[in-house]
């Protein structure tokens, strides 16, 4: 696949089924992530893969977080949290590893981690793998962070769901870029 095709046509694919990406495909996904812009070569990211029965365990962790943070919770809300990781055969948790650095502010590190996640999405599209980036309030849960073993200075920035598209991916809508681009000129 041409690089421009992936850049111009990638879309989120929310309906995913088995099989998960192969080991060879995963190597491409994570290699693409490593090409993210990275001022200072800090590599301020890491990835957790969740698949098989670990998805049910992640679902239980999410349900615990809902229960702890929401107080009174309906059984339906708990079931929804438990089912979240089951939406795809592979979930990649993207973790930003923010550190003090004399030259690279944490905001740049966070952006770099986001670019690494985007690299995974582009590489998935290029290989015919369905993928969607999800977050939501549970991404910011201290209980979830602790349960996933995040260290101080680390935060979840994405749950990437990956698998085989259930349906043919939609065609990317064309966007008029003129609404987003303007020339700047200094006023004297």
Report the chain's mean pLDDT, rounded to a whole number: 96
Tens of pLDDT, residues 163-183? 999 999 999 999 999 999 999
List the beta bridge partners of residue 47: 94
Q: Select from 3.40.109.10, 3.40.50.720, 3.40.50.300, 3.40.50.2300 the CATH code of 3-179.
A: 3.40.109.10
**Domain-wise residue ranges, the chain:** 3-179
Tens of pLDDT, residues 100-142? 999 999 999 999 999 999 999 999 999 999 999 999 999 999 9
Model confidence at 1: pLDDT above 80: no
Residue ranges of the alpha helices (H) in the chain? 3-9, 23-33, 54-70, 75-83, 106-126, 142-147
The dihedral through the CA atoms of 123, 126, 130, 132 has a sign that is positive
Q: Please give the model's pTM, rounded to 2 decimal places.
A: 0.94
Asked if residue 98 lies in contact with residue 109, where contact means CB atoms within 8 angstroms, the answer is yes
pLDDT of residue 141: 97
pLDDT of residue 105: 97
pLDDT of residue 187: 85
pLDDT of residue 102: 95
Model confidence at 81: pLDDT above 90: yes
User: Which pLDDT band, with edges at 50, 70 and 90, does 70 fall under?
Assistant: confident
User: Which pLDDT band, with edges at 50, 70 and 90, does 69 fall under?
Assistant: confident
In DSSP notation, 14-29 reads --EESPPPPHHHHHHH
Q: How many CB atoms lie within 10 A of CB 9?
A: 13
Tell me the C-alpha to C-alpha distance, in Å, between residue 66 and each of 47, 60, 78, 146, 151.
Answer: 23, 10, 7, 14, 21
């Amino acid at each position: 696949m041409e690089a421009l095709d992936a850049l111009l046509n990638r879309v989120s694919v929310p309906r995913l089924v088995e099989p998960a990406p192969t080991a060879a495909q995963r190597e491409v996904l994570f290699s693409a992530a490593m090409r993210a812009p990275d001022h200072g070569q800090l590599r301020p990211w890491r990835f957790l893969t969740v698949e098989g029965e670990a998805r049910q365990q992640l679902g239980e962790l999410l349900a615990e977080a809902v229960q702890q943070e929401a107080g009174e919770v309906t059984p339906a809300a708990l079931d929804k949290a438990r089912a979240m990781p089951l939406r795809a055969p592979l979930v990649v948790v993207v973790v930003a590893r923010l550190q003090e650095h004399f030259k690279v502010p944490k905001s740049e590190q966070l952006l770099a981690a986001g670019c690494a996640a985007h690299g995974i999405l582009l590489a998935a599209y290029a290989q015919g793998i369905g993928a969607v980036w999800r977050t939501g309030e549970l991404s910011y849960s201290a209980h979830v962070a602790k349960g996933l073993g995040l260290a101080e200075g680390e935060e979840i920035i994405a749950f990437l769901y990956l698998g085989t598209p259930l349906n043919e991916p939609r065609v990317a809508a064309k966007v008029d870029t003129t609404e987003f681009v303007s020339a700047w000129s200094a006023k004297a």
